[in-house]
Amino acid sequence: MLAEIITIGDEILIGQIVDTNSAFIARELNNAGIRVKQISSVSDDREHILTALNEAAVRADIILITGGLGPTKDDITKKTLAAYFGVKLIENKEALENVQRIFKRIRGEDAIMLDVNKQQALVPENCEVILNKNGTAPGMWFNHNGKIYVSMPGVPFEMMYMIEDEVIPKLKSTLKLPFIIHKTILTAGEGESYLANRIADIEDDLPSDVKLAYLPKLGQVRLRLSAYGDNEVLLQQKVDEFSARIIERVKNVVVAEEDIPFEQVILNILTEKGQTLSVAESCTGGYISHLFTQHPGASKVFLGGAISYSNELKESMLGVKTETLAQYGAVSEQTVTEMVEGALHVYKSNYALAVTGIAGPDGGTEDKPVGTVWIGVATDGKTQVKKFTFGNKRTQNIERSAISALFMLNNLIKDSGK
């Protein structure tokens, strides 16, 4: 069973907003056993939308559409769908009552509802209405020429409710869906091509119903095994067998056997150990702290630290010596050593990490070009530091510094547990 996702809106095509809707919908469909064939974004243009619908109907069995259902003139999805199916727009009683209920809840009992708001209850006459509990624009379900079409609002929290509580359950009850089994292995410190070379023979042994995907990101690669079929038990056995072979082969770079972010791996390990972490960030400017604190429960492990961008704060907050900075500079082995050991001492954590470098695009010198980064990790009685030379792109340098620091910290935690 194949699906296609179409997002409608000029705001997506000009980069004003990021299309997070497609990613969410694709994950939910995949979990339900429905494979996404294509994702498209189209403008608020009648002919463009009609063309996208016609093309999607050739490729997919299920077409999911988001966007263009608002009350303003640029929201043309309903009218275009009516034209596509060759039907009229009619007022739906349940949708109108829902619009009135939500309007009064937001505006008050005495608020006067405009005609433009009432028009939210107009839907193509061949649709089954999906009531919107979080907004005024109803969702619409169509069965047409053996295909299923579902149109939903583009507002993410409105769309998410419809997908989770209405659309996916209805698809499951309507269709006979296969099983999809996924297993993700998170690796760090080795490039995609090297990993592929190391496990080439294992990949060659994969049966036709099991696929291996490489999902690279700066400093890390996720290996995802996916199995598709009707026998869930057999599929799970195959995935377990091949994931075990891969993990054994590349265990030196495996950091997690599940699909979670790298920083969550470290939080989980330290939470289990009842241990804590502090940081001393210079060139990463708080990015590493953000990675940790975006996760619920981070406070059990992450104490905080210093964003010591200036030399003065490196001295006052972390105890870096004035003479160290004068002799070796802020970006040096000596300085990062004093930063990480200072964080460990000042914040009284079990582990600490420190980063100092030249993120760019300027600030480099002949002996310390842009992309030069020193990273240190430490625990009681053990400090490790390493120099990295990245590129000249500021954002990438910050992200690479963070992942490299996490990799060093993860290895230190492993070594300390032996």
The pLDDT score that the predictor gives to residue 74 is 75
Range list of H helices, 358-393: none
| The CATH number of domain 262-416 is 3.40.50.300 | no
The pLDDT score that the predictor gives to residue 216 is 93
Whole-number Å distance between alpha carbons of 74 and 78: 11
Of 404, 369, 368, which Cα lies nearest the Cα of 385?
A: 404
- Averaged pLDDT in 10-residue chunks for the chain of 418 residues: 95 93 95 93 95 97 94 85 96 87 72 73 94 90 97 95 96 91 94 96 96 92 94 96 98 94 97 97 98 97 97 97 97 98 98 97 93 97 96 94 96 86
Q: 3.40.190.10, 3.30.70.2860, 3.30.1450.10, 3.40.640.10: which CATH number matches 179-256?
A: 3.30.70.2860
CATH superfamily of 2-174: MoaB/Mog-like domain (3.40.980.10)
The pLDDT score that the predictor gives to residue 111 is 65
Q: Give start-end residues of each CATH 3.40.980.10 domain in the chain.
A: 2-174
The pLDDT score that the predictor gives to residue 418 is 62
Q: Which two tokens stand for residue 258?
A: 């599940």
Three-state secondary structure string covering 391-410: CCCHHHHHHHHHHHHHHHHH
Strand partners, 226: 182, 211
Whole-number Å distance between alpha carbons of 399 and 290: 12
Whole-number Å distance between alpha carbons of 153 and 386: 50
Whole-number Å distance between alpha carbons of 340 and 338: 6
Q: Give start-end residues of each CATH 3.90.950.20 domain in the chain.
A: 262-416
Q: Which two tokens stand for residue 340?
A: 């990480």
Q: Give start-end residues of each CATH 3.30.70.2860 domain in the chain.
A: 179-256
414: left (phi over 0), alpha (psi -120 to 50) or beta: alpha
Alpha-carbon distances of 162 from 24, 65, 234, rounded to whole Å: 12, 12, 32
For the chain, give the number of residues. Answer: 418
The pLDDT score that the predictor gives to residue 113 is 67
